[in-house]
């Protein structure tokens, strides 16, 4: 399914709050915070010339977030960053002076952090980021997970010392439960989705994601003409689309949001012209995108900055995992989890349909940017779907175990 953005706000400037959240100054602040992390390294940006030739476009570049901060997904940038910002703000309030990130382990700041509890709901990756951030600052984390979260992903969260609370139902049910329990106990919710009266913290989470596109723009030979980014509640898509709109202005790329067909809340919202909650049905293999209601903040950005919305099927997601694991020609092998390559799957589907290709203006001169949002965060599931272990893929003839050279050098 495919549709162009017909919202009345399409093409208009971002809301001033969103422009401040996703602009250059905010992105620079994220970069500054990252320099204080010993485990920070810029993630690889891979050129895929073989696939570009196969699809009839000029170039494809993929940002590989499977390497981000040792957590295996782009979510490492959001929850942890928000937790650290909130601790510093609380320390500033209580100590009566400005407290910066370099003072994070000052005894007075650590004592304040130790009395704070952060809660969130998760499909797996966001909870891992919040738990890691809480451990980094010495705070407590309570992570609410729904019944479909795999044991492997639970273990990955628990290793950071977080308390795990199981919730019957879906991701959306766990969001409600986390907010309810946190309100009753005085905890701070660090959610990657927003709701009325709760926007600033999800905005901080989205702000963390701007590092992805900022790093890419530093390295890519020329700004992209087209971008395809997958969406759950819409946070990473909105962060990338919003930042590109602010930085590139009239030169911004054609931006397409890609949903799983079984959890197409942003596609249906675009179709309706306002945020829509879609019915829960059969689970999708794209587990990290299995969200049935968009974040209002993300929708507000995407209504303005996204140009098209589309869906991909289960087979499309699995096929792109296998295509990236078994590259053709000079393309590198890339480990992409079940949700990681969905933006690329959207591109592959789009070029295969002449009408969609024409409406997006995809041709031999197009420069396409996509994001591998996660590596094999559930290695057993990855091997089941790809037929190789992540280690076998990474050890292939075009191993991606080290960041690629700067494409601009």
Percent of the chain beyond pLDDT 90? Answer: 91
pLDDT surpassing 60 at residue 409 = no
CB count in 10 Å sphere of residue 22: 28
First-residue to last-residue Cα distance in the chain: 39
3-state class (DSSP) for residue 69: helix
CB count in 10 Å sphere of residue 112: 22
**pLDDT score for 405:** 30
DSSP H or E segment with residue 165: strand 163-167
Q: How far apart are CA 197 and CA 191, in angstroms?
A: 13
Is 157:120 a contact under the CB 8 Å cutoff? no
pLDDT surpassing 50 at residue 362 = yes
pLDDT category of residue 401 using cuts at 50, 70 and 90: very low
Nearest to residue 290, comparing CAs of 266, 319, 272, 322? Answer: 266
The three state secondary structure string of 331-374 is CCCCCCCCCCCHHHHHHHHHHHCHHHHHHHCCCCCCEEEEEECE
Bridge-based pairing of strands 117-122 and 188-189 is parallel
Give 113-172 pLDDT, tens digit per residue: 999 999 999 988 999 999 999 999 999 999 999 988 888 889 989 999 999 999 998 888
pLDDT category of residue 274 using cuts at 50, 70 and 90: very high
**pLDDT score for 115:** 97
Percent of the chain beyond pLDDT 70? Answer: 97
Q: Residue 374: beta bridge partners?
A: 73
Mean pLDDT computed over 278-286: 94
Token pair in block for residue 279: 């019915």
Q: How far apart are CA 81 and CA 104, in angstroms?
A: 12
Token pair in block for residue 406: 């700067």
**pLDDT score for 399:** 45
Mean residue pLDDT across the chain? 94
**pLDDT score for 397:** 57
pLDDT surpassing 60 at residue 404 = no
Give 175-190 pLDDT, tens digit per residue: 999 999 999 999 999 9
Q: How far apart are CA 396 and CA 257, in angstroms?
A: 31
pLDDT surpassing 70 at residue 198 = yes
Specify the range with the lowest mean pLDDT, choosing from 8-12, 387-391, 398-402. Answer: 398-402
Go through the chain and tell me how many residues it has. 409
Q: How far apart are CA 43 and CA 31, in angstroms?
A: 13
387: left (phi over 0), alpha (psi -120 to 50) or beta: left
Question: Catalytic positions, please?
Answer: 75, 123
Give 72-115 pLDDT, tens digit per residue: 999 999 999 999 999 999 999 999 999 999 999 999 999 999 99
Mean pLDDT computed over 312-339: 96
Give 216-237 pLDDT, tens digit per residue: 999 999 999 999 999 999 999 9
pLDDT category of residue 408 using cuts at 50, 70 and 90: very low
Q: How far apart are CA 284 and CA 287, in angstroms?
A: 6
**pLDDT score for 126:** 93
- Angle of helix 107-114 relative to helix 79-95, nearest 10 degrees, comes to 110
């Amino acid at each position: 399914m495919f549709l162009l953005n017909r919202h009345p706000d399409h093409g208009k400037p971002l809301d001033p709050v969103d422009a401040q959240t996703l602009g250059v100054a905010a992105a620079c602040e994220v970069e500054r915070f990252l320099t204080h992390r010993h485990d920070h390294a810029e993630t690889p940006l891979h050129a895929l010339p073989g696939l570009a030739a196969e699809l009839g476009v000029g170039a494809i570049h993929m940002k590989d977030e499977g390497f981000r901060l040792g957590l295996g997904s782009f979510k490492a940038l959001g929850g942890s960053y928000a937790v650290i910002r909130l601790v510093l703000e609380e320390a500033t309030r209580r100590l009566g002076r400005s407290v910066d990130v370099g003072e994070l382990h000052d005894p007075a700041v650590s004592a304040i952090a130790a009395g704070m509890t952060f809660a969130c709901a998760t499909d797996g990756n966001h909870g891992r980021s919040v738990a890691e951030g809480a451990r980094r600052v010495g705070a407590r984390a309570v992570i609410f997970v729904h019944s479909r979260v795999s044991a492997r992903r639970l273990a990955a969260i628990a290793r950071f010392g977080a308390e795990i609370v199981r919730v019957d139902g879906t991701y959306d049910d766990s969001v409600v439960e986390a907010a309810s329990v946190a309100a009753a106990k005085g905890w701070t919710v660090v959610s990657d989705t927003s709701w009325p009266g709760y926007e600033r913290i999800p905005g901080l989470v989205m702000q963390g994601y701007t590092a992805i596109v900022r790093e890419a723009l530093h390295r890519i030979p020329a700004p992209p003409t087209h971008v395809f980014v997958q969406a759950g509640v819409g946070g990473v898509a909105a962060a990338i689309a919003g930042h590109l709109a602010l930085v590139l202005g009239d030169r911004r790329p054609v931006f397409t949001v890609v949903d799983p067909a079984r959890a197409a809340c942003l596609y249906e919202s675009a179709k309706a012209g306002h945020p829509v909650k879609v019915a829960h049905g059969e689970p999708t293999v794209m587990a990290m995108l299995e969200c049935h209601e968009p974040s209002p903040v993300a929708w507000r950005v995407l209504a303005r900055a996204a140009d098209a919305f589309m869906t991909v099927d289960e087979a499309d997601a699995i096929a792109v995992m296998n295509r990236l694991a078994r590259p053709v020609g000079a393309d590198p092998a890339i480990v992409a989890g079940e949700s990681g390559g969905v933006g690329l799957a959207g591109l592959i589907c789009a070029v295969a349909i002449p009408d969609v290709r024409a409406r997006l203006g995809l041709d031999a001169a197009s420069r396409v940017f996509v994001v591998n949002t996660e590596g094999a965060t559930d290695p057993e599931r990855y091997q089941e779907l790809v037929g190789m272990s992540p280690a076998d893929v990474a050890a292939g003839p075009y191993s991606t175990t080290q960041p690629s050279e700067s494409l601009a050098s």
